[in-house]
Structure 1
Amino acid sequence: IKTPTKMSDNNPVNKEVETFDKKCLKKTHTAEKNTLPTKEDIEQEKNAVKGK
């Protein structure tokens, strides 16, 4: 009886990932921006909702 093989077992991409050298990657710096609304923005939204 033949055992079913998964498609990923023979995937050449898996072998490539396993042998990949991380040292060749460049360092990157990411800065996240998460600006919060001001009091004025919040008041404008509240007034806009009340006005509907």
Structure 2
Amino acid sequence: MSDKPDLSEVEKFDHRKLRKTNTEEKNTLPSKEVIEQEKAAGKDKC
């Protein structure tokens, strides 16, 4: 048995059968204003 991986299936793969997808960027980080509001709310509770 050899240490090299079997690439025969990869060589047969037809990339033309893949469907085109549209990616949508999402900004999951809060804005500076939101961070400031949360800091202010945290100070009010203490």
Q: Same fold (TM over 0.5)?
A: yes
Residue ranges of structure 2 left out of the alignment (5+ in a row): none
The 5-angstrom pairing of residues 6-25 of structure 1 reads 6=3, 8=5, 11=6, 14-25=7-18
Number of residue pairs aligned between Structure 1 and Structure 2: 43
**How far is the alpha carbon of 1:7 from its aligned partner?**
5.5
Q: CA RMSD in A?
A: 2.6
Residue ranges of structure 1 left out of the alignment (5+ in a row): none
Bigger relative CO (Cα 8 Å, ≥ 6 apart): 1
Which is richer in helix? 1
**Amino-acid identity (%):** 44
When Rg is computed on C-alpha atoms for both structures, the one with the higher figure is 1
